[in-house]
Amino acid sequence: MRAQRARDRSDTLLLTGTVVAAHGRSYLVALDEGRRLPCFPRGKRSEIACGDRVRVTLASADQGVIDAVETRSSLLYRSDAFRQKIIAANVSQVVLVLAAIPSWYEDLLTRCLVAAECAGVGAIIVFNKTDLPEAAAARERLALHESLGYPVVPLSARLGVEALRPRLLGHTSVLVGQSGMGKSTIVNALFPEARAATAEISAALDSGRHTTTHATLYWLDRNSAVIDSPGLQDFGLHHLNVTDVDAAFREFRPFIGHCRFANCRHLSEPGCAVVGAVREGLVSERRLAAYRAIVEEKLRGIPAC
């Protein structure tokens, strides 16, 4: 009987919720019952992400312990040969934020799209700062990605984000991109209560400064959420194999399996169907070069995270 009462007391302390902020080994969990509870993981290792559904035991009236992470629908992360960095869990959409200034990296954009494809989630591109005179030329660089089926949403977050809002409904979206692209400005426009820090970019260095230091989830409505993540400079794909990478280039898919050699890496092998598609204008040479840069890095074992 005593053991049964102990189990009953334990059951009443078991709570469920969503991780809405992740900072090191400290997490803020929005409990399903309505309150928000600071929590810590049980044990030394922690691989909990913003967006995770978790089961929590109360350690005190105002602090909890995360006992378990529920099965994830998706996990977005980057990795090198030594470590991995989780970005967000249970997202259905990656929102890549680019801008006219500072210059955005083609390689980072490609890697983010590859990661989204491999995670099985959708991806859209937000082209921010359209009010700047440099916007037209920078926007042209995205025509290729738009032709591949990635929606491009142009906006100036300082003036409003209504063009983006419908794209977020019904999704759990994670905002990713380089520092200085305007992610925090977009968050503030969508969620004025967030008061996310923003910073001016460096014209001399053509770069932004990190203002978001940890991932935070905001609810747009009961069925829609947005996760703001820290700015990126690199996106390591060490956890993917070559087969994952070539399938993530969606325009390659009709030609995969038609190369002369079954293990073709689309580098310099004779009879490569993807290279043939490039010659026929069916695949962009720019995208093949981007693919080869990723694969050659993996073959050399160069760490990048």
Q: What is the pLDDT of residues 146-156, one digit of tens each?
A: 999 999 999 99
Q: How confident is the model at residue 18 (pLDDT cuts 50, 70, 90)?
A: very high
Residue 58 burial by CB count (10 A; 0-12/13-18/19+): exposed, middle or buried? middle
Q: Which helix (H) or strand (E) holds 280?
A: none
pLDDT at 20 over 60: yes
SS3 label, residue 6: helix
Q: Which helix (H) or strand (E) holds 168?
A: helix 165-168
Q: How confident is the model at residue 74 (pLDDT cuts 50, 70, 90)?
A: very high
Report the percent of the chain where pLDDT is more than 70: 88
Q: Of 5-9, 76-80, 213-217, where does mean pLDDT reach its minimum?
A: 5-9
Predicted confidence (pLDDT) per residue in 245-260, tens digit: 999 999 999 999 999 9
Are 142 and 152 contacting, i.e. CB atoms less than 8 angstroms apart?
yes
Q: How confident is the model at residue 301 (pLDDT cuts 50, 70, 90)?
A: low
Question: What pLDDT score does 305 carry?
Answer: 44
Nearest-10 crossing angle of helices 285-300, 106-119? 80
Question: What pLDDT score does 213 carry?
Answer: 58
Q: Average pLDDT, whole number, for the chain?
A: 86
Predicted confidence (pLDDT) per residue in 196-233, tens digit: 544 333 333 333 344 455 899 999 999 999 999 988 87
Question: What pLDDT score does 52 carry?
Answer: 97
Question: What pLDDT score does 195 carry?
Answer: 60
Predicted confidence (pLDDT) per residue in 161-195, tens digit: 999 999 999 999 999 998 889 998 999 999 987 76
Residue that wins the pLDDT comparison between 136 and 10:
136
Residue that wins the pLDDT comparison between 10 and 179:
179
CA distance 272 to 267: 8
Q: Across residues 30-51, what is the average pLDDT? A: 90
CA distance 128 to 135: 9
Q: What angle do CA 222, 197, 212 make, to 5 degrees?
A: 75
Question: What pLDDT score does 204 carry?
Answer: 35
* Amino acid identity, position 54: V
CA distance 143 to 107: 16
Domains, in order of start, for the chain: 2-69 (2.40.50.140), 75-228 (3.40.50.300), 242-300 (1.10.40.50)
Q: Across residues 271-298, what is the average pLDDT? A: 95
| DSSP character string of 46-77 | ----TT-EEEEEEEETTEEEEEEEPPPS-EEE
Question: What pLDDT score does 236 carry?
Answer: 87
Nearest to 244 by CA among 71, 73, 86, 79: 79
Q: How confident is the model at residue 8 (pLDDT cuts 50, 70, 90)?
A: very low
pLDDT at 266 over 50: yes
Predicted confidence (pLDDT) per residue in 107-140, tens digit: 999 999 999 999 999 999 999 999 998 899 989 9
Residue that wins the pLDDT comparison between 213 and 46:
46
Residue that wins the pLDDT comparison between 82 and 124:
124
